[in-house]
Amino acid sequence: MTTPPHTSSSAEPRRRVRRWHQRGFTGCSTCRRRHVRCDEASPRCQNCFRLGLECDGSQGRMTFKVYNPASNQQNQASTTTPESSESEPTQQRRTVSPETDKTDSTSIASPLSSLEMFLALTSPQPQNGRQLPPPPPPPPPPRRITGDLPSSPTLELDAGTTPLLNVEEEGYILAHFVNHVSILLIAHHGPVYAINKSNKNNTKNPFQCDFPLLAQSSPAMLGAMQALGALHLANTAASGTQDTRHFQYAMAKYSDVVKLFRLKSHQTGQRTLLADLATCLLLCYFEMMDSQHPNWLVHLKGAKEIYRIMFHPTPAEQADRVGEGERQAAVRHPLLTDLLLLLADLDVAGACATVNGTVIPGPYWRMHAVDGGGSAAAGWEQEHLHNTTNTSPTPVSFTGRDQVLAELTDAWAGLMEIRASTSKFGKAKDEDMPVEQQDVVFGDLLNSLLAWRASAPECLRVLGLLDLNTTTRPTTNSCLPSYPYPDLLAYAACLEAYEKATALHLYKIVAAGRPDQQINLAHLNLLACRILDLVAFLADGVGQLAILWPLFIAGREACDYTQQLAIRDRMIGMQRFGFKNVERTLESLEDFWSRKRAFPGIWIESINDLRSSVLL
């Protein structure tokens, strides 16, 4: 029998072609070690459950290391980790691989040229054919920052590695921050700035009016504004090259700002307290808009250090003449009151998220209040001037609508104090507070809420009597005929929503880990339904951003599918504003609802179950 001739093609081994598949990065560690696909079930995946293996559950989103785009073209040197002026974040921010930019290095725009282009875009053009003066020449190529800066093996960032944008693009980003992002930021503080939208003379948005002027003397603050503007453009734009460039630019600007903070912290006499405090607030908003990691807590700690230098300096800091002069100038600046109110609002919001109390102890927002018109004529400022000049403070008096606004502002300050105390109570309970003392503190906080409601302004008391389930929603040109303050209806509803959410949060904290202290579910559902009615009845437009925390608290108690569907639709609609904390909140609620459907019945939650890393 003859064998067939052996051809050259049959001698070659057959190549194994692997079928294309979607690679996963979010499975449990056991499945990833075995190189099998994980169904990411919780608390154990089906593969580990079937084989009896140990499973640590789905790992969620992976955190990627951030590398310098030009690090492979330069020599290795000391590296820095983005952080605020106080401490380092524990995780690095993810980023996409940057695209190769063809722009020459000489086109890097200085902060001054960016600010001039922003002014050119937001100011009227000169007449008679006169042109604006040309921007100043670009600075020399940046040098690598060296010195006593800590290094990190996972990060390669050089000074001046921001993705290159021309002057017009940087000016457009600044104009976008002032014209658009500033409105969204102030919308988060609706109860603080309870100003009638129709009265333009009383409207004051510090992000629009004061921040651009203050940023002229602070490159770090200017960079933070640019980072926020670019990140918002990236979050609201369709996927594409422009989206990627804006995201890269925002992350690089963020890194540049925190490096400037660290560099200034090692140099004496380099602090500009007011601008540094504003920069810390902007970095908190950046983390809230990005919502990848809880690094906003780091920037709040940096703001705490600046607050300490301002109001509680050490003897050595007081002996420094230059630093003391800067401190006195910052304390007397009219913008300080607005900054401290914004800081207090972020601090209390962070306390409710972490259930660990405020970063800065004490109700310091009580000492830094604004009047109904939003001006910085605070009682604390008058007291401070009285202590320094030995003159009697002039009492602030209000009449008519301004009196109602002052009452709303005072009521919001009191509610913030109760929210902070509730968070502090949760922290103490998590640290093994005795059960008897828990009941005493719970009773005191509940009495504080009842006293707050008894002393609430008339506009709040009247709103509490309205049945929003049977009342038709007012149109744009009409209002409820029985409500005496129709222009303040939305602000009063926002305050009541926060009141009901605070009570709901307090009940959940006292019942955490205690089967003997479970609250009546019907009572919790009543509070949640009232919050949802207030949100559905009165919240509209960007004002929805101000009621995100009450919506989240009520959403955790929503058992009806119709309520869950309404919350889901509202949050999906709110994602158009470009804040990723809305998306993260919806993901948290979806996970919570799925677990409640899988395991129905009464849950005994712990304090950790009430904590969240998302700033609302």
pLDDT means per 10 residues, the chain with 616 residues, are 51 62 70 84 81 73 38 40 41 41 37 47 40 41 36 34 65 90 84 42 74 89 93 82 81 90 69 87 93 85 89 83 82 87 90 90 69 35 34 46 79 91 92 90 93 89 74 46 74 90 93 81 88 82 87 89 90 90 91 85 81 86
- What pLDDT does residue 457 have? 86
Query: Helix, strand, or coil here: 444?
Result: helix
Four-CA torsion 564, 566, 569, 573, nearest 10 degrees: -130
Per the CB < 8 A criterion, the answer to whether 182 and 225 are in contact is no
Per the CB < 8 A criterion, the answer to whether 459 and 408 are in contact is yes
Per the CB < 8 A criterion, the answer to whether 176 and 121 are in contact is no
Number of helices (H) and strands (E) in the chain: give both, helices first: 25, 0
d(CA 234, CA 240): 10
- What pLDDT does residue 58 have? 61
Four-CA torsion 251, 256, 258, 259, nearest 10 degrees: 140
- Report domain extents, the chain: 401-610
- What pLDDT does residue 57 have? 73
- What pLDDT does residue 277 have? 92
Query: Helix, strand, or coil here: 107?
Result: helix
E strands, 190-252, are none
569 token code pair: 């639709």
d(CA 186, CA 194): 11
User: Rounded to a whole number, what is the distance in angstroms from the first to the last CA of the chain?
Assistant: 84
d(CA 613, CA 616): 9
Alpha helices, DSSP H only, in 431-517?
435-454, 458-464, 489-511
Q: Is residue 384 packed enough to be buried (19+ CB in 10 Å), middle (13-18) or exposed (0-12)?
A: middle
Q: Within its chain, how far is the Cα of 565 from the centroid?
A: 25
- What pLDDT does residue 133 have? 39
